[in-house]
Structure 1
Amino acid sequence: MEYRPLGTTGVEVSALSFGTAPLGQLFGPVPFEQARAAAFAAVDLGMNLIDTSSYYGDAEDRLGRIIGDLPDDVLIATKGGRLGWDEFDFSPDGIRASLEASLARLGRDHVDLFQLHDIDFVPLGPVLEDAYAELVRLRDEGKCRFIGMTGYALPTTRRVLLETDVDVVLNYSHGTLLDNSLSEELAPIARERGTGLMNAAAVSLGILTPGVLRMDGHNIASDASLRAAQAMARTAAEHGVDIAFVANQYALQRVQCDTTVIGSTNIEHLTAATAALTTPIDEELLAALLQSRLPTEAQQWDVGLPENNVWDWGDGETT
């Protein structure tokens, strides 16, 4: 396992972090013993950050049952403010209540990192002002060591980086084989600001997997991204390679971030993702795959409020 500084927080994080949405049964039933085994396998593989959320089903409750058996140096990160698929509460009182409830479920008096979850879906003004101020208060009170925000849209994460002094940001699906705008657009700002940068959804929420060839649509990914992913999957298959493995290789070896969150309760998948960190990329195959990558602006997904997705691409055009 490789370890990297998490911005200027003073802590080092594993290149892979353990994501717990599947552990919390967000995508279907998972027996507790399987969830427990996956968490300990991730730690045994060297992952020292566990990323969870109050939104991830019963993930926090399950972690609370095993957290006392984990090594003391494992970092626990959780999120608040997202209550459901389309329900959010980023008010100061709501944020505070969310963290208190998370701490109770986890059996902790503090977490290492507390982030606001998927802020793209609400007007950003109050989030970047009132909600951010509450995060600072919670950090000052010792309820969390570090604070941050998460989102999908590049413009949203860019605003967080430029308009607040959060310790960490997490962005989904922009540090991938399909779209590496996380490195191109966000990483330079994060480095300048000293902000930790977390990457998530290395397989683009499931479309950089062999199963994409059976998909005729996706609930979040754009049609353009789906077609590009299908072209990549066909190319990988022609080379006898699993597109998901190459996608993890790319995210872990080429994307400029401090850690990439891998969510799975399948120990074989966790082990394969860890192997992707050190297995050299087949440059000829990579070049062939990247032939299917669209221009960055064409890869962006319409997630959250339209106003939070507006981006100036430097040519006078906004999308």
Structure 2
Amino acid sequence: MEYRLLGKTGLHVSRFCFGTLTLSPLQANLPLEQGAELLQEAYSYGINFWDTAELYANYDYLRLAIKKIKDLPVIVTKTYAYDRKGARASLEKARREMDVDIIPIFMLHEQESALTLQGHKEALDFFLEAKEKGLIKAVGISCHTVAAVEAAADLGCLDVVHAIVNFKGIGIKDGTIEQMLRAVTSAHQSGLGLYAMKVLGGGHLIPEADKALRFVLDLEALDSLAVGISSPEELRVNLQYFQGMKPPEQLVRKLARKRRRLKVDDWCIGCGSCVQNCPQRALSLQHEDGQLKAAVDHTRCILCGYCGAFCPEFCLKIF
């Protein structure tokens, strides 16, 4: 396993970051023991960098895995807290539910710009103070925008940025992949640690996984790449890609047979962009709890992934 120094944090992380959203109740909803065993297996292969968030509701998986491996990986978690009270509650929740004293990296979740960072200043200040006290080793943000990457570099007090990077630019809310690459390169040169999310475009680039992973692996500005894993087979195939090897055809075929579905996340705003751009007419707007949201006709959906490129909120995932 290749390791990189994550910016100026002093943390050495595996180039392969385990994205835990996929095993959580929000997606695959694996049984607790099964999810913890998957994390334990990943750690045995040298994957010491695990990405989670308060939203994912999966701290119990990490707690059990940490207990099994008897070590603390480089764990990143995130919160939507914007004030000191919320930030303190998020930190204590993470420490309590993962049963750890120190959280290696704590992030403000889904920042968009300098303005949203200003709006979260109380929470940010709290986490910076927690870092000084030794409760956190590094502070950062996750984001789906070029503007937030640029703002993080300008701010000067952050350590790590978790940004969307994939060769088609799927999920970038305010620009192109070329603009994002310029932003992450500049941020990395300023000393920030950078690791990518959605390198497979939320599942939309799985048919081109080799090309998608090679694209991000070749980017020197990215210290690590988070990939969502929900099965031992996915773990082993992705390990092969990260090691520059061609995965066994038998494993690739097995994953190709896996039943995948298009999922609409809860934060859909019902804009209709995906409906207008679905070539199969598999999407429509339906009322759900008094709000318009996209709905999928799975008898029509062919998992082409076109819709994901048009969703401004990155609500559409294939898994």
TM-score norm. by structure 1 comes to 0.70
Shift in alpha-carbon separation, 1:50–1:92, aligned structure 2, 3 A: same
Following superposition, the deviation at residue 204 of structure 1 comes to 0.8
Following superposition, the deviation at residue 73 of structure 1 comes to 5.5
- 1:34 and 1:209 mapped to 2: Cα distance? 23
Matched, 1:135 2:127: yes
Q: Which has the higher contact order (CA 8 A, sep 6+)?
A: 1
Structure 1 residue runs without a partner (length 5+): 82-88, 211-242, 282-298, 305-319
Structure in which a larger fraction of residues adopt helix? 1
Matched, 1:205 2:191: no
List 4+ stretches of structure 1 deviating above 4 A. none
Is the 1:128–1:160 Cα contact (8 Å) retained in structure 2? no
Deviations for 1:193-215, whole angstroms, at most 9, x for unmatched residues? 211001011111111123xxxxx
Count, aligned residues: 245
Deviations for 1:70-125, whole angstroms, at most 9, x for unmatched residues? 253621221112xxxxxxx3112111111111111000111111111112399515
What is the match of residue 258 of structure 2? none
Matched, 1:302 2:312: yes
What is the match of residue 39 of structure 2? 39
Shift in alpha-carbon separation, 1:254–1:168, aligned structure 2, 3 A: closer
1:32-181 alignment to 2 at 5 Å? 32-57=32-57, 59-72=58-71, 74-81=73-80, 89-120=81-112, 123-127=115-119, 129-172=121-164, 175-179=165-169, 180-181=177-178
Deviations for 1:268-310, whole angstroms, at most 9, x for unmatched residues? 11111121123279xxxxxxxxxxxxxxxxx796349xxxxxx
Greater Cα offset, 157-166 or 66-75: 66-75
Deviations for 1:143-188, whole angstroms, at most 9, x for unmatched residues? 211111111011122112212421111012xx21213447632233
Give the 3-state SS of the residue equivalent to 1:261 in structure 2.
strand
Shift in alpha-carbon separation, 1:121–1:62, aligned structure 2, 3 A: farther
Structure 2 residue runs without a partner (length 5+): 170-176, 247-308, 315-319
Q: Quick one: which amino acid aligns to residue 116 of structure 1?
A: L
What is the match of residue 258 of structure 1? 223
Give the 3-state SS of the residue equivalent to 2:93 in structure 1.
helix
Matched, 1:249 2:214: yes
